[in-house]
Amino acid sequence: MSYEAGFGSGDARTWFLVRKNAMTSSAGERILVSVFTNLTERKHIEEELRSSELRFRDFAEAAGEYLWETDKDQRFTFVSPRVLFTLGYTPEEMKGHLTSEFMSSEEAARINEWRAHNARADKSYHGLEHTVIQKGGKAIWMLTNALAIHDEHGNFIGHRGTSADITARKSDEARIHELANLDALTQLPNRISLKDRVKRAVHTCRRTNMVAAMLFVDLDHFKTINDSLGHPVGDALLKEVANRLKRCVRGGDTVSRFGGDEFVILVEQLEDVRNAASIAQKILDALAQPFEISGQMLASGCSIGIAAIPTDGEVLETLLKNANTAMYAAKEGGRNNYQFFALKMTQHAVKRHKIEMELRDAVSKGQLLMHYQPQVEIASGNIVVVEALMRWQHPERGLIESTSFVPVAEESGLIASIGTWALQSVCAQASQWRNAGIPILRVAVNISPRQTLNPEAFAQFVANQLEANGLDGSILEFEMTESPLLKHADANAVLLNRLGKLGVKIAVDGFGKGSSSLAYLKQNAINSLKIERSFIRNIESDPEDLAIVRAIIAMAQNLKLRVIAEGVETKQQLSLLKKLGCHVYQGFYFARPMSAQELFERYFADTPTPKSGRTKDRSNARGAASRPRARTA
């Protein structure tokens, strides 16, 4: 018999292997022979091994890892109990099964491919991230490290390793990636993500000799919707726009958002960049349809600029600049259209940017001023209104008309501050005319939709200006274009009623060019219709224009609205308008816009004659002897 025995205690304990054998002596006696072999050192080594193994298992358990071994065919030969808490399987349920049985076939193939490129020479590997399927069918992420096992002859016989659940970490990483690469509102790729995709598109173009296109999409009038109806409505609109854009492109194309109301679409693998036009038109048609947001029907539309890859650029920044330039050309072309980038657009964009930068300082530097153009009553020949028209006294380019810089002011948002200055200037000028004893004429002022985003605040501002200058509201007539009036009809109805109570008159500017509502004209405090000048220009030669003007005048008469014809340049035009029953005309035939001083000297310095008449001196719109009477209408 044999057994192990320890003598002593603690670290001083000595261990022996005791072997006992019964033997018969030469004298015939039965004796017991005991042999003691010192095992103390071996016992210490075994204890250290047990402690080391226990420590390793504790570390693995604390880290959420389970231990495993496989044979050379990747069949489990050992799995630690911890696997039950991770995968839901007991070790016995996994032993004898291939590792591939606990994952999808695609994942198993991917792991084999990964090991082929990342395993060490001895077949050990580290940092393998892969998915396995729990007993309940849910896929989770695991981090696996493995050492190769070899027999005494150096032959590979399997792996021994650890696997830990990293699903939470992978979820966090996915969220971080989402925040870094996706727009938070629409979940579309953002600028960072788009940059990588542009690089890929450029590489594909070089490899295949095909082209790609970048479409810069900017919503028309989004700021007005956002400011007037609130950011929640604006956000909901942007989400719906994103959904419509995704339905307009192919599966391999990229729809991204850059913030605000700007979207960028990358269209790849085109035989000709002109093919992008069909996608652009599809987007225009999709966004032209009304949006139902929070029970309200909203109209937006968009303008699109298109840059070609690689012709117009091979890096994101260049392509964005060129596509954005083309987009502005589309806006200037009337909005709701698309334009391809051309080099001449860059020169135009540089000029536009320079105008915007200089315009920002124009008010503070006193470079803006108001000119005034008379509106004359056709029946009496009296000046009844003067329209205030903005001019820019540029230090280098001289006097610039409003048509050259107001569109830039509108696009850049400067029109709000400039419009405030204009109204203050007009009220101050009207006060000066009154104090000088000049008959108080009504002054027509053009109002931008951006100025009326907050109707209550705008109406109060007007009231404050009238009071500060000691004026009655009847001194003012606001000219507002018909499309913005109709687009936000409810909010504008409140504004028009407030202005009407102040005595301010309202004229619909450029009437006939947009889509008008007769009910809207009848129900709101509108006093005048101003016929779009393009209809007056060819009224003598174009039967359609003549028919339109005749219809507008007849309608206005029935609604008891005053009709103003702008852009009258010939005696024949005036004569025809008189026959049609037009009330008031304005244009170069009578006088060009002029400064307040010139207006005074020409029409108010001397006693006016009772009747207006054309002078022979065509260089001066009215001679001193033929000045019309000025009266308040």
Residue 32 CA to residue 25 CA, distance in Å, equals 10
Q: Three-class SS of residue 516?
A: coil
In order of 76, 137, 151, 153, 421, the CA distances from 158 in angstroms are 9, 27, 9, 14, 84
pLDDT at 504: 92
For the beta sheet containing 2-7, the strands, ordered from the edge strand earlier in sequence to the opposite edge, are 2-7, 14-24, 30-38
In degrees to the nearest 10, what's the CA dihedral of 587, 589, 595, 599? -110
* Whether the Cβ atoms of residue 308 and residue 286 lie closer than 8 Å to each other: no
State whether the Cα torsion 172-176-182-183 is positive or negative: positive
Coil, strand or helix at 538: coil
pLDDT in tens, 15-37: 787 888 888 877 778 888 777 78
pLDDT at 11 (0 to 100)? 66
Measured CA to CA, the distance from residue 514 to residue 4 in angstroms comes to: 107
Residue 27's pLDDT is 79
Mark residue 96 as left, alpha or beta (left: phi above 0; alpha: psi -120 to 50; beta: remaining): left
On whether both 393 and 445 belong to a single domain, the answer is yes
Q: List phi, psi (to 5°) of 412.
A: -85, -10
Confidence of residue 156 (pLDDT cuts 50, 70, 90): very high
* Single residue among 116, 144, 171 that ends a domain in this structure: 171
Q: Residue 532 is inside which H or E element, if any?
A: none
The answer on 542 and 400 residing in a single domain is: yes
pLDDT tier, 532 (very low <50, low <70, confident <90, very high otherwise): confident
The per-residue pLDDT of the chain, averaged, comes to 85
Backbone angles phi, psi at 115, to 5 degrees: -65, -35
pLDDT-based confidence at residue 491 (cuts at 50, 70, 90): low
CB 493 within 8 A of CB 525: no
The answer on 191 and 165 residing in a single domain is: no
Structure tokens at 256: 């991204």
572-588 residue pLDDT tens: 999 999 999 999 999 99
What pLDDT is stored for residue 344 in this prediction?
67
DSSP 11: G
Q: What are the pLDDT digits (tens) for 362-417?
A: 888 889 999 999 999 999 999 999 999 999 999 988 999 988 888 888 877 788 88
* 623 has pLDDT over 70: no
Q: Is the peptide bond before 593 cis (omega within 30 degrees of 0)?
A: no
Q: Which of 171, 199, 229 is the last residue of a domain?
A: 171
Place of tokens 């810069």: 216
Supply the DSSP string of 100-155, one letter for each residue.
Answer: GGGS-HHHHHHHHHHHHHHS-TTS-EEEEEEEEE-TTS-EEEEEEEEEEEE-TTS-
**pLDDT at 611 (0 to 100):** 40
- The per-residue pLDDT for 631 is 46
Top pLDDT among 522 and 542 is at 542
Average pLDDT over residues 324-328: 89
Residue 238 lies in a domain: yes
Amino acid 319 reads: L
On whether the CB atoms of residues 516 and 522 are closer than 8 A, the answer is no
Residue range 54-86, pLDDT digits in tens: 766 666 565 568 999 999 999 999 999 989 999
The SS3 of residue 380 is coil
Residues 456 and 570 in one domain: yes
Q: In this structure, are 479 and 581 located in the same domain?
A: yes
- Residue 412 vs residue 254, higher pLDDT: 254
CATH code, domain carrying 324 = 3.30.70.270
Contact 502, 467 (CB under 8 A): no
Domain holding 72: CATH number? Answer: 3.30.450.20
Q: Can you give the pLDDT at residue 621? A: 38
| Segment 142-164 mean pLDDT | 94
Do 403 and 438 belong to one domain? yes
pLDDT at 627: 43
Q: Over 90: is that where the pLDDT of 140 sits?
A: yes
- Write out the H or E segment, with its range, that includes residue 322: helix 316-332
Residue 362 lies inside a defined structural domain of this protein: no
pLDDT beyond 60 at 517:
no
What type of residue is 356?
A: E
With respect to residue 359, please indicate whether it lies within any of the assigned structural domains: no
Tell me the CATH number at 487: 3.20.20.450
Q: Tokens 């018999």 belong to which residue?
A: 1
pLDDT of residue 440: 66
CA distance 70 to 204: 43
- Asked if residue 474 and residue 374 are part of one domain, the reply reads yes
**Contact (Cβ atoms closer than 8 angstroms) between residue 66 and residue 60:** yes
> Are residues 590 and 491 part of one domain?
yes
Whether residue 56 is contained in a domain is answered as no
Q: 213: part of which helix (H) or strand (E)?
A: strand 211-219
At 485 the pLDDT is 64
pLDDT at 137: 94
Q: Would 532 be classed as within a structural domain?
A: yes
Which strand (E) or helix (H) includes residue 280? helix 276-288
Is 179 a domain residue? Answer: no
122 with 202, same domain? Answer: no
- Considering the domain boundaries, does residue 557 fall inside one? yes
Rounded to whole angstroms, the Cα distance separating 433 from 23 reads 144
Domain count, the chain: 4
Percent of the chain with pLDDT over 90: 46
| Cβ contacts of 187 within 8 Å, gap of 6 or more | 178, 242
| Amino acid making up residue 102 | F
Q: How confident is the model at residue 624 (pLDDT cuts 50, 70, 90)?
A: very low
* Distance linking the first and last C-alpha atoms of the chain: 133
> CA-to-CA distance for 66 and 79, rounded, in angstroms?
7
Count CA within 13 A, CB hemisphere, residue 609: 13
Mean pLDDT over residues 563-570, rounded? 94
CA distances 320 to 130, 204, 214, Å, are: 38, 19, 8
Burial environment of residue 38 by CB neighbours within 10 A (0 to 12, 13 to 18, 19 or more): exposed
Domain termination residue (choose one: 171, 204, 230) = 171
Does 354 score more than 60 pLDDT? Answer: yes
CA dihedral for 509, 513, 517, 518, sign (positive or negative) = positive
10 Å CB burial of residue 73 (0-12, 13-18, 19+) is exposed
The boundaries of the domain holding residue 244 are 186-341
Q: Are 399 and 299 members of one domain?
A: no
| Rounded Cα–Cα distance for residues 241 and 298 (Å) | 12
Amino acid 85 reads F
Asked if residue 13 has pLDDT above 90, the reply is no
- Crossing angle of helices 276-288 and 231-248, rounded to 10°: 140
Same domain flag for 392 and 288: no
Rounded to an integer, the average pLDDT of 200-213 is 90
Place of tokens 């690689």: 310
- Give the model confidence (pLDDT) of 463-473 as tens digits: 999 999 999 99
Is 395 within a domain? yes
539, amino acid identity: I
For residue 355, the model assigns a pLDDT of 84
Instruction: Pull the structure tokens for residue 200.
Output: 């890929």
Closest by CA to 293, choosing from 344, 376, 237, is: 237
CA distances from 377 to 382, 384, 534, 621 (A): 5, 6, 21, 16
Stretch (H or E) spanning 330: helix 316-332
Q: Which residues contact 614 (CB under 8 A, 6 or more apart)?
A: 571, 626
Instruction: Tell whether 605 and 540 lie within a shared domain.
Output: yes
